[in-house]
Structure 1
Amino acid sequence: MRAFRFSCAGDALKAAGWLFFVMVTMALSLISNTEAQAQQSSRITEVTSPGGIKAWLVRDTTLPLIAMEFAFLGGAAQDGPKQVGLAHLTASLLDEGAGDLNAQAFQQKLADHALELHFNAGRDEMRGSLRTLSENREVAFDLLRLAVTQPRFDTEAVERIRAAVMATLRRRSTEPNAIANDRWYALAFPDHPYGRPVDGTLESVPGLTRDDIAGFARKTLARSNLRVAVVGDISPEELGQRLDAAFGTLPQTAELTPVANVTPQRIGTVDVIPLNVPQSVVVMGTVGLERRDPDFMAAYVLNHILGGSAFSSRLFKEVREARGLAYSVYSYQVALAHVGLWFAGTATKNERAAESIALISAEFQRMLDQGPTAEELKEAKSYLTGSYALRFDTSSKVAGQLLQIQIDDLGIDYVDRRNAMVEAVTLDDIKHVAGRLADARKALVVVVGKPVGLSGG
């Protein structure tokens, strides 16, 4: 989410030139061999700056570009019960003026040097991304330094971004998918930070003060909870120096409130939110596995067969192809820092919502009871290993993958090991993990619309 930006004719010309450059770069990346890119992404160097800041680097001098992804662990889980949306508002303001540059001057400097600097908040971390041409690295890293160490949080910027957040929240309040997802988390985690919407609420955001925002940044932006991944035209030695320049003056240790591990509540119940729309949106969620669980990969393959593939999954074949109940139906895993979850969802005619839910539940249970066929497992492995290289076909994707691997604590050699882990999954492994997921045979179901034959609350 971004609010109104300042612009001029000169900026438009520069932006157009930058856009053309990015399009050419992306085209070159897509033309290149993606498998080779994936292999290149595994050549990771762990860089430790003179000041002790660590980062993973894939050096690539093919193009004069540097892509950086970084995260401060904590995120919206650090919002207080009466400060819902604080992490999101803080992240949205970090590039709205810093040091001696107000919002307009800061954005103008980004535009003048064709830089991209963005921040956003999730449940478990606040993320940032930086994109720059090699020749503009000095300015790029200096603006990053200002954003994370000297954000201004000027009144004008706070109120402008607050207004933009409120507009987004008002729009989300009428969107069935947003309503269903927010309600699912609220019901599943009523006394836990995960039960609160990341973006905040129409009631909470107006009460967030500048002191709240500055305090959140001061407590959560630190070196101890920082993770960094960099791809591009920069040496390990130079990266170490720039890491210290950008992040070195941050506090050593973040002041994070401990977040407890949690189990979703209300499993096996249905909640209906009446809304006058022609289709009902269905969100079904239940317990899953955390990312570092040794059985996660078996569950990942199992989910792909069930509903993770757009056109070959069981849910697609049964719900869309065989019965025409919905255009889209899917399942996916969510591995948060303190809970693993498994979701399925669809949108269907109000009069067929109950039938769709029953069918999805039946397919879920059948998969857990009987497992996939040998042919289904073979096809899933082929797709999952063959498509993995597509996650590495641009510098930004590589950096994003490396950052997530750090957050999940999977090890610096995970890229090299991942496909072998998929290939190693057997029918017995899937049978074993299905036994562990016995509780997943029931779900917390949230329906938004006017479903016929369903009630709950």
Structure 2
Amino acid sequence: MFKRFFFALAGVAIGFTGIAPAQAALQIQSWSLGNGTRVLFVENHSIPVVDLSVEFDAGSRRDPQDKSGVASLTNAMLARGLRESTTPIAEPAMTEAQISDAFADTAAQRGGGAGGDRAGASLRTLSSRAERDASVTLLARLLAHPSFPENFLARDKARTIAAIRESETKPESIADKAFWRLLYGSHPYARHETVASVESITRDDLVAFHNAHYVANRAIVSIIGDLSRADADAIAQQLTERLPQGTPLPELPSVDIAPPREERIAHPASQAHILLGMPAIARGDPDYFPLMVGNYTLGGGGFVSRLTREVREKRGLSYSVYSYFNPLAQPGPFQAGLQTQKEQTDNALSVVRDTISTYLRNGPTEQEVKAAKDNLIGGFALRIDNNKKILDYVAAIGFYRLPLDYLDTWTRNVAKVTAADIKAAFNRKVALDKMSTVIVGSAANNADTAK
């Protein structure tokens, strides 16, 4: 996909400046509003700032058929203008410039974006009531009353199309799009923006998508900062009171493992870009921690990983080689990748496959497991070092309905993983004979072949 935001299987941690380790547990409070909005809140008075986000099931997997790009354009245009409204109170229309100036006047920072599963907006604001109320009200209006002006839509479409055309020249982008297409076939995860799909998008498409997906009963509000719970509840109400109630969304098709294929795509780049993998894991899967620890040894641990040792150090076939798991709402991919000289393509690919095969057959050694766990646990407190980063993980916990103590129990879940757990989990989720492969820039035959 042209825009693909994800949380790969990497270690996550939590820490508050000035708090002793014994007191560093992350207390996530959670409740639901009367309108169906789910709220997650972390109280932290270390600095006079509030970070918050509002997210919806409005990612690119919800794009209408043949309209890839609607989700990302809808989200990008939330702040292009506001229409006049009368609910809950009379509020005037605003231009993009006026919106930008209003956030600047309160020293607030607005963010957001659309990924494969979810989309939304975020805000960093001072916790002082006047500035906080003004910036929160403005964000609430952006979520509920965007005007989607035609002239800005034309501008944003032109920018998106220009970016697509540029990406179509880059081997890494070509490989990524082909990889998701081979793995996911007709599933929405396989879709990506094209020039044709973006050109076909109209303002009516954005309005319809916004009305269907930016709704109170599917909103996830995540807040961390210098507030009481009562303040957080009032902010959540304020953020969602203008949003309508939504009807149930259609069920998405299941993710089926497609027959493995190998696709070779000609490209003038000096190096071949290789990706191989298969759908593997959804968020909340009990195999998450064994796969994370095991992948550190296979291809996620940099110079201490097996793939780096076999491909780079022993044979000099690539400067960098990696593997990772990308859990999504539905099974996301296991992916391994590298770049290599074109004439070394088949040799490098063979070494990667052999290394994965050996790992599946034998699993990691006890020494490798200990080193992986020591590194992940030892680096735990350094992985998230400010409220904004913490907010990203709290939002993921809310959207994917992970346990509220997910971060507090993280090190314990890592520590209890065994070599046998890793071998069993990998063999449940990864099979070499079910992996598809994309090679962009290979000097070999360019035909798409079934394996």
TM-score of the superposed pair, with normalisation by structure 1: 0.88
**CA distance, structure 2, for counterparts of residue 302 and residue 350 of structure 1:** 30
What SS class does the counterpart of residue 409 from structure 2 fall into? Answer: helix
Pick one of 135, 144, 151 that aligns with 2:139: 144
**What is the match of residue 128 of structure 1?**
121
Q: Which has the higher helix share?
A: 1
Partners of 2:216 and 2:245 within 8 A in 1: yes
Larger RCO (CA under 8 A, 6+ residues apart):
2
- Aligned residue in 1 for 2:352: 360
Aligned to 2:104: 111
Distance in 2, Cα, partners of 1:241 & 1:51? 13
Deviation at 1:128, TM superposition (A): 2.0
Partner residue of 1:161? 156
Counterpart-to-counterpart distance in 1, 2:372 and 2:291: 12
Query: Structure 1 residues 276, 373: CA separation in 2 closer, same or farther (over 3 Å shift)?
Result: same
Deviations 1:418-441 (A, max 9, x none): 111111111221232233236345
Q: Partner of 2:26 in structure 1?
A: 42
Alignment of 1:193-272 (within 5 A): 193-197=188-192, 200-267=193-260, 269-272=261-264
> Who is 2:341 aligned against?
349
By how many angstroms is 1:50 displaced? 6.1
Q: CA contact under 8 A between 1:73 and 1:124: conserved in structure 2? A: yes
**2:3 corresponding residue in structure 1:** none
| Residues 1:128 and 1:231: Cα distance change in structure 2 (over 3 Å) | same
Matched, 1:380 2:380: no
Shift of 1:453: 6.5
Could you tell me whether the CA contact under 8 Å between 2:334 and 2:430 is conserved in 1?
no
Once the 2 structures are TM-superposed, how far is the Cα of residue 77 of structure 1 from its aligned partner?
Answer: 1.2
Partner of 1:192: 187
Paired amino acid for 2:322: Y
CA contact (8 A) 1:285 1:445 kept: yes
Given that 1:295 and 1:433 are in contact with CA atoms closer than 8 Å, whether structure 2 keeps it comes out as: yes
Asked if structure 2 preserves the Cα contact closer than 8 Å seen for 1:78 and 1:257, the reply is no
C-alpha contact (below 8 Å) 2:37/2:216 kept by paired residues: yes
Tell me the residue number matched to 2:291.
Answer: 299
2:315 aligned to 323, 328, 331, which one? 323
Residue aligning to 1:81: 65
Q: Which amino acid aligns with 1:363?
A: T
Deviation string 1:333-386 (CA, Å, 9 cap, x unpaired) is: 011212232100011111111111111111111111000000000011111112
Return the letter of the residue paired with 2:293.
Answer: V
CA distance in 2, matches of 1:252, 1:305: 47
Number of matched residues?
Answer: 425
SS of equivalent to 2:153: helix
Q: Is the 8 A contact 1:286 1:443 kept in 2?
A: yes
Cα contact 1:46–1:55 (8 A) shared by 2:
yes
The equivalent residue for 1:437 is 429
Q: Residue 294 of structure 1: CA displacement?
A: 1.7
Structure 1: state its 5+ residue gaps.
Answer: 1-28
TM-score (norm 2): 0.89
Query: Deviation of residue 291 (structure 1)?
Result: 2.5
Q: Distance in 1 between matches of 2:19 and 2:176?
A: 34
The separation in 2 between residues aligned to 1:173 and 1:258, in whole angstroms, is 32
Q: Distance in 2 between matches of 1:357 and 1:55?
A: 46
Partners of 1:305 and 1:453 in 2: how far apart? 33
Q: Output the CA distance in 2 between the equivalents of 1:116 and 1:399.
A: 14
Q: Could you report, residue by residue, the CA deviation over 1:5-37 in whole angstroms, capped at 9, with x for unpaired residues?
A: xxxxxxxxxxxxxxxxxxxxxxxx99946984x
Contact 2:69 2:197 in 1 (8 A): yes
Q: Does 1:90 align with 2:74?
A: yes
Structural RMSD (CA): 2.2
CA distance in 2, matches of 1:70, 1:388: 26
Question: Does 2:277 align with 1:285?
Answer: yes
Query: 1:56 & 1:108 partners in 2: Cα distance?
Result: 29
The alpha carbon displacement at 1:217 in A equals 0.4
SS of aligned partner of 1:70: strand
CA distance in 2, matches of 1:161, 1:359: 44
Q: CA deviation at 1:408?
A: 2.5
- What is the rounded CA distance, in whole Å, between the counterparts of 1:30 and 1:418 in structure 2? 13
Q: CA 1:219 to 1:112, structure 2 compared with 1: closer, same or farther past 3 Å?
A: same
Return closer, same or farther for 1:346/1:34 CA change in 2, 3 Å cut-off. farther
SS at match of 1:288: strand
- Whether the aligned pair in 1 keeps the contact of 2:259 and 2:434 (CA below 8 Å) is no
Offset of 1:289 from its aligned partner? 2.5
SS for the counterpart of 2:404 is coil
* Counterpart Cα distance in 2 of 1:367 and 1:58: 40
- TM-superposed deviation, 1:111: 2.6
**1:363-442 to 2 correspondence within 5 Å?**
363-437=355-429, 439-442=431-434
Q: 1:111 to 1:259 in 2, by over 3 A?
A: same
C-alpha contact (below 8 Å) 1:63/1:233 kept by paired residues: yes
d(CA) in 2 for partners of 1:297, 1:131: 32
- Give the whole-Å Cα distance in 1 for the aligned partners of 2:259 and 2:410: 35
Shift of 1:295: 2.0
CA distance 1:31–1:57, change in 2 (3 Å): closer
Return the offset for 1:228. 2.1
